[in-house]
Amino acid sequence: MKKRIFQSVAIISTFVVFITFFLTFILLYNHSFDTLKKNLIEETNKLKTIVETNPASLNNAALVSESRVTLIDVNGNVIYDSEKSDSPLDNHADRPEIISALKNGVGSATRISSSTHTKTYYYAIQLKNYEILRLSRNMDNFVSSLYPSIIRLLLLLPFIYLIGLLLTHLEVNRIIQPINNLNLQEPLNNVIYPELRPLLENINEHNAIRREFSANVSHELKTPLTSISGYAEIISTGLVQDINDIKLFSNKIYTEAQSLITMIEDIIKVSRLDEGKLEIKFQPIQFDEIIKSAVTKLTPYATKKSITIIERCKPVSGAGIKTVIEEMIYNLIQNAIKYNKPNGHVWVFLYEYKNRIVIEVKDDGIGISSEDLPRIFERFFRADKSHNQTIEGSGLGLAIVKHSVQLHQGEITVNSKLNHGTEFKIFLNKH
Ligand code: ADP
């Protein structure tokens, strides 16, 4: 995280420094140019007054000036030039500042000078005797006068950077320190950045789920273990002599132990699915075959409870983790039989819709109340405690189903009406 913040700050500051540099240069340049123009205009006006009063003083005045001074007659011929005096200059009648000065009395232009080959600003003014007095100044001199400042700034740059990095380092530490000192046992007691609130609430929720899970596991394990211990104690006291009674008690111990093993296996399964530790190896799957096989396995159980299974499956193939899909379908059909009424029905449908595989398991059984419905996928949750005391289960089946669906990036929906029945729908991608 520190590294990320550091990198971001470094990139942003480099960008800001260069933009600032660039903008400063442009502003300075524009400012210099404006000052130059202003000075040149002032100087031209002063020189005009001097020359008009005393034409002979032009050369002296031009010599002390920093600008180039040129005097041009009405035909564009150069009468005087403070810089190029040895070779005659060509006719200036076509220069824009001269054309303008002859017409309007004043004229100005910026261009690369044909004689000095540098960017030059010209200002021309017409004298009383109609001759044109023109002053010009080289812009490049101005730009080059900026160079020392630019170089100084460039030399300063590493120091500015170092100071910036040092400050960033201190600031990042200051920001991160409270995060390192978070109390994760009591996340909501931390008074820290509001942005972290959702994360802390999440951790708090996870802590609560974990605590509830441990409490549930202990409770679920304790019930069968208590009865195992009770039966074993009765046998060990020697009070039960009848061999049939001993058989009965041992059988009870065996059954309870078996359900304990199943529950522990289920807990391990949910944890594995939850942690994503399961080896994800998708293989081709014929979904109708899996459903048919589950229905065949569960038919004796349904018959015993006088329940009819109606299965309508289209041949649908796809990909997934076979054992996980098998268990998911088995769990749903088993529940539909388990939470049913005598002479009830279970419908199982399989089809494809919009390139997705849809598995529907429906029953006209006892249904789930609207208060319990949102919680049925939670681990150890069992709806309506009163009828559940007579129906065996640990509340883990649907948690396994939900995780199995998620593992396949699918979706599960449930609809239920108390006393009327329940409908589960699973949507899986074809892969
Ligand atoms: P278990 O069946 O072991 O209790 P599940 O996780 O499979 O656990 O189901 C959780 C709860 O959801 C069940 O205890 C039951 O109350 C309710 N339930 C699940 N399937 C159905 C169904 N088809 N009809 C009515 N209730 C159901």
At 274-283, the pLDDT tens digits run 777 666 778 9
| Separation of alpha carbons 428 and 409, rounded Å | 7
Mutate to test the pocket of ligand 1, among 382, 422, 426 (most ligand atoms within 8 A of CB): 382
At 151-177, the pLDDT tens digits run 888 888 888 888 888 888 898 888 888
Please give the number of the atom of ligand 1 that sits closest to the Cα of 377.
Answer: 6
Q: What whole-number percentage of the chain has pLDDT above 70?
A: 96
At 13-52, the pLDDT tens digits run 888 888 988 898 889 888 888 988 999 999 999 999 999 9
Residue with CA closest to ligand 1 atom 20 = 335
Q: Which residues contact 351 (CB under 8 A, 6 or more apart)?
A: 314, 316, 358
Q: Which residues contact 281 (CB under 8 A, 6 or more apart)?
A: 321
| Separation of alpha carbons 111 and 205, rounded Å | 74
Assess contact for 69 and 124: CB atoms under 8 A. Answer: no
Which residues are near ligand 1 (CB < 6 Å)? 335-336, 339, 363, 365-368, 376, 381-383, 388, 393-399, 422
Residue with CA closest to ligand 1 atom 2 = 393
User: Ligand 1 mean position to 258 CA, how many Å?
Assistant: 20
Residue in the structure block whose two tokens are 């599960």 = 412
User: Ligand 1 mean position to 208 CA, how many Å?
Assistant: 23
User: Ligand 1 mean position to 414 CA, how many Å?
Assistant: 12
| Separation of alpha carbons 312 and 292, rounded Å | 9
Residue with CA closest to ligand 1 atom 21 = 335
Mutate to test the pocket of ligand 1, among 333, 339, 370, 423 (most ligand atoms within 8 A of CB): 339
User: Ligand 1 mean position to 382 CA, how many Å?
Assistant: 6
At 132-151, the pLDDT tens digits run 999 999 887 767 777 787 88
| Separation of alpha carbons 43 and 51, rounded Å | 12
∠ Cα 268 361 267 (to 5°)? 10
| Separation of alpha carbons 25 and 19, rounded Å | 10
User: Ligand 1 mean position to 228 CA, how many Å?
Assistant: 25
At 223-235, the pLDDT tens digits run 889 989 999 998 8
Please give the number of the atom of ligand 1 that sits closest to the Cα of 382.
Answer: 14
